[in-house]
Amino acid sequence: MPCGGARIDLFLAAIVIGITNGAFIALIALGYTLVYGIIELINFSHGDLFMLGTFACLTTLTLLGFATEVGIGGTPWWALLAAMLLAMAFCGTLNVLAERIAYRPLRKAPRLAPLISAIGVSFIYVNLGLLWQGPTPRRFPDLLPQYDFVSQMFGLETLVRFTFKDLFVLGLAIPLMLALAWVIRNTRMGKAMRAVAQDSEMASQMGIDVNRVISFTFLLGGILAGAAGLMYGLYNNNTVFTLGFDAGLKAFTAAVLGGIGNVSGAALGGFVLGLLSAIVITFLGGQWDSVGVFSLLVIILVFKPTGLLGQGASD
Amino acid sequence: MAMLQVENVHTFYGTIEALKGVSLTVEEGEIVTLIGSNGAGKTTTLRTIAGVSHARAGSVALDGEDITNTPANDIVRLGIAHSPEGRRIFAGMTVRENLEMGAFTRTDRTEVDSDYQRVFDLFPRLKERILQRAGTLSGGEQQMLAIGRALMARPKILLLDEPSMGLAPVLVELVFKIIQDINAQGTTVLLVEQNAHMALSIARRGYVIQTGRIVLSDSAQALAKNEMVRKAYLGEA
């Protein structure tokens, strides 16, 4: 086992990996928390929606002719942009449709009914994924520049890597989260979302069309999942139809950790979870990943049952 | 033709019939009060008019247009605003945002701005607290915000549910004074109150509701002198 300086190396390396992974988790966690904040539904299909997002990107890139080559002739930015926009539109639309078909008719039913319905939607998505890309893991084209800032720009010989891929993920995820926060805080629709989250009956008496606001919320969650799909694919260069289960579980945990229904909480929870997971994997090994993550969840919920930042979508 | 016409309305909560054929009218420019004890159906009457509870039978019409089955979010557009029981302000939003929500349906920017001014003139305290979270306001201030929020819709008719509830006596006087001011500025008011004495002192006409039925209707002055009203609602022996 390495000691002294090497350990700090390892630790810093884990931090970078953790932050980048935290960004994916946060984007997916936002989808859980937005929906929970508005209609108190745990949308179990959300992780699988993210999986379909990676597939939508993969198919788009394949159709555009970028399925195999590895960074030859530079990065096709336009194709990446096209894939991301398509995945965002696809996941957003799918999420809105799921709400219309599977959740809205059950809105006045007991809580358990829409939850079971969401699990059903999750099964549909998983099987759709299985039909779409088959049962084995698929390679996702490696289209981003291969560049490590730590060794190539600063000439440092360490285990720590901060690559262009990390920059790409953070450079997309963080502005997306800030944009979401801005939409919720400042736009007419965002304010309507907050009003519906706090008291939907009273919101309707303000003239707010509650159904439209709920659709819009599902749209936002789906868009973020679609964007996360592209980032995940380009970062990890693989995807598989079972991807959504693990991602969904982690993201849901992150949302609860931060305070379900709380938007800043979901983002914070995502990063905390990503960091913890990377540190546990680095120092204890991959088999301890889930143990670490869920121990943290239990500990935090014992001492602060409403999560780190408290429940409620009021901000 | 009355501005608001409620005719033989039956409203249920599940299998419980809360309104058993309520009829009342409100003419343009009036303050009309609906008095009655707890559970008589006062709140349900207002909720049915506002479209959040639905009449199973009977009809509600505004300016002759049937709105019995119109959804709540369209009713406010037609000119009915509701300041509900328990205030139900958006506690996590600022005072400013609560008022903005009140004006949600409106697109006439300059008119909306003049209505902010009107609300702040009526309730100077709200202006002092404009950026404060509504949940941190005192009970009286929250009541003012609930009324102000309803006014931001610039309604033809304002439904007020128990505006005096839980307020100190000085504030009760103030709130009733402000209701008169609002009415004098041209807004018709349907006022539900347990404080029958105050309500009858500012209303032109009144209805008395008992277990889901209107049992009396008369001018406010006559009701204040009525033997049964004095015993049951004005606490006189």
Work out the pLDDT band at A72, boundaries 50, 70, 90: low
Rounded Cα distance between B145 and B10, Å, is 31
In a domain, A199, yes or no: yes
Q: Which residues of chain B have a pLDDT value below 50?
A: none
Task: Give the mean pLDDT of chain A.
Answer: 92
Q: Which of A37-51, A123-137, A156-170, B63-77 has the weakest average pLDDT? A: A156-170
Question: Considering its fold, how many domains does chain A have in total?
Answer: 1
In a domain, A39, yes or no: yes
In a domain, A310, yes or no: no
Give the pLDDT score at A313. 47
Q: Which residues of B touch A191 (CB under 8 A)?
A: 93, 97, 100-101
Rounded Cα distance between A53 and B64, Å, is 52
Look up the domain containing A50 and give its range.
5-303
In a domain, A59, yes or no: yes
CATH (domain of A60): 1.10.3470
In a domain, A177, yes or no: yes
Q: Which residues of A touch B100 (CB under 8 A)?
A: 191
Q: Give the one of B76, B91, B92 whose C-beta lies nearest to A205's C-beta.
A: B76
In a domain, A15, yes or no: yes
Give the pLDDT score at A260. 92
Q: Which residues of B touch A210 (CB under 8 A)?
A: 73
Question: How many residues can be counted in chain A?
Answer: 315
A299 — phi, psi (to 5°)?
Answer: -60, -45
For residue B73, give the chain A residue with the closest CA.
A207
Rounded Cα distance between B22 and B41, Å, is 9
| Amino acid letter, A175 | P
Hey, are the CB atoms on A199 and B102 less than 8 Å from each other? no
HSE (side-chain half, CA atoms, 13 Å) at A223: 14
Q: What is the pLDDT of residues A119-149, one digit of tens each?
A: 999 999 999 999 999 999 999 999 988 888 8
B136-142: long-range pairs with CB below 8 Å, 24+: B137/B89, B137/B95, B139/B166, B139/B167, B140/B167, B140/B168, B140/B171, B140/B175, B142/B87, B142/B89
Q: How far is A20 from chain B (nearest CA, A)?
A: 32
Token pair listed for B135: 């949940």
Give the pLDDT score at A297. 86
Check if the beta carbon of residue B223 is closer than 8 Å to that of residue B200.
Answer: yes
Give the pLDDT score at A87. 98
Rounded Cα distance between B57 and B23, Å, is 12
Give the pLDDT score at B209. 95
Q: How far is B101 from chain A (nearest CA, A)?
A: 6
Find the largest Cα–Cα distance for chain A: 65
Q: Give the one of A199, A207, A315 whose C-beta lies nearest to B88's C-beta.
A: A199
Q: Which residues of A touch B82 (CB under 8 A)?
A: 205
Choose between A32 and A75: higher pLDDT: A32
Give the pLDDT score at A65. 87
Read off the pLDDT of each residue in A217-235 and give the average, rounded to a whole number.
97
In a domain, A275, yes or no: yes
Check if the beta carbon of residue B216 is closer than 8 Å to that of residue B226.
Answer: yes
B101 touches A at CB < 8 Å? yes
Give the pLDDT score at A146. 85
Check if the beta carbon of residue A170 is closer than 8 Å to that of residue A23.
Answer: yes
Q: What is the pLDDT of residues A264-310, one digit of tens each?
A: 999 999 999 999 999 999 999 999 998 998 898 899 889 988 888 88
Read off the pLDDT of each residue in A34-45 and give the average, rounded to a whole number.
94
Q: Give the one of B74, B91, B149 whose C-beta lies nearest to A198's C-beta.
A: B91
Short-list B223, B139, B188, CA closest to B30? B188
In a domain, A308, yes or no: no
